[in-house]
Amino acid sequence: MRREIDRGRLVSTMAFALRHDPAHFDLQLDDEGWTSFEDLIIAIRFERHEWACLDESIVNEAIADMDRFEVRNGRIRAVYGHSVELAKLPAIETPPAVLYHGTSADNMSSIIQQGIRRMRRRFVHLSSEFGWVVSFLDDKQAWTIFAIDTAPALENGVMFRRANHHVWLVASVSLT
């Protein structure tokens, strides 16, 4: 019988390992952030006692409905949200006409004055899916969503990188 795994904690640990501190888990990421699926599982098994029997099927089940990770040919990577520097960034592409950025309402005046900045991450995250942004903000008491008209940003030299089918990455974006 399989022991119940805390999916949220597992996903958070995987995200931390693949996006922020692979060295803590003794993981080597390639230029695009890929590592061996097996190496990741072995590394995070030791984080929690109940993960001692963690295997590929449990991890796949935990991330099945997520677009935060990509699994291919026995390898896995976080698709976006990195604070570690990757040598090979996603390609620059032309974004949809409107992208959305959700944030705590406390950040609103700063964003209006300074634009949307990456803060502790390598990039600002924007999405073409309004509903996804709303679901991302569920845990915040007061929040706001900015709709970004991408045409002026493109004219001002902003480079948009596609992380997955709906998440777009930029260094920063001005609202004026």
* CATH number where 59 lies: 1.10.10.970
Both tokens of residue 88?
């090979």
Q: Is 145 within a domain? A: yes
Q: Is residue 88 part of a domain?
A: no
* pLDDT tens track for 28-40: 999 889 999 999 9
Q: Does residue 86 form part of some domain?
A: no
Q: Which of 78, 107, 125 is the last residue of a domain?
A: 78
Question: Quick one: pLDDT at residue 7?
Answer: 87
C-beta of residue 35 within 8 angstroms of C-beta of residue 23: no
In a domain, 114, yes or no: yes
Q: Domain limits at 132?
A: 98-173
* Extended beta strands in the chain, E state: 35-36, 69-72, 75-78, 98-104, 116-117, 124-127, 143-149, 161-162, 167-170, 172-173
The residue among 18, 45, 78 that closes a domain is 78
Instruction: Specify the pLDDT at position 157.
Output: 94
Asked if 102 and 69 sit in the same domain, the reply is: no
What was the pLDDT predicted at 1?
Answer: 39
84 lies in some domain:
no
Domains in the chain: how many in total?
Answer: 2
Which pair of structure tokens corresponds to residue 26? 């003794």
Dmax over Cα atoms in the chain, in whole Å? 58
Task: Assess if residue 89 is contained within a domain.
Answer: no
Answer yes or no: is 83 within a domain. Answer: no
Q: Are residues 106 and 43 in the same domain?
A: no
Domain limit, last residue, from 21, 46, 78: 78
Q: Is residue 87 part of a domain?
A: no
Amino acid at 91: A
Q: What is the pLDDT of residues 92-127, one digit of tens each?
A: 999 999 999 998 888 889 999 998 998 877 889 899
Distance of CA 49 to the CA centre of its chain: 27
Distant-in-sequence, close-in-space partners of 55: CB < 8 Å, separation ≥ 6:
41
Residue closest to 125 by CA, chosen among 87, 78, 163: 163
Residues 50, 21: Cα–Cα separation, whole Å: 22
Phi and psi at 75, nearest 5°, equal -125, 160
Residues whose CB falls within 8 Å of the CB of residue 164, separated by 6 or more in sequence, listed in order: 67, 70, 79, 80
Domain shared by 131 and 161, yes or no: yes
Q: Check whether residue 124 and residue 64 sit in a common domain.
A: no
115 and 159: one domain?
Answer: yes
Are 103 and 168 members of one domain?
A: yes
69 and 22 co-located in one domain? yes
pLDDT tens series, the chain, 176 aa: 355 778 889 999 999 999 889 999 999 999 889 999 999 999 998 888 888 888 999 999 999 888 889 999 999 999 887 778 778 888 899 999 999 999 888 888 999 999 899 887 788 989 999 998 998 788 778 899 999 999 999 999 999 999 888 989 999 999 87
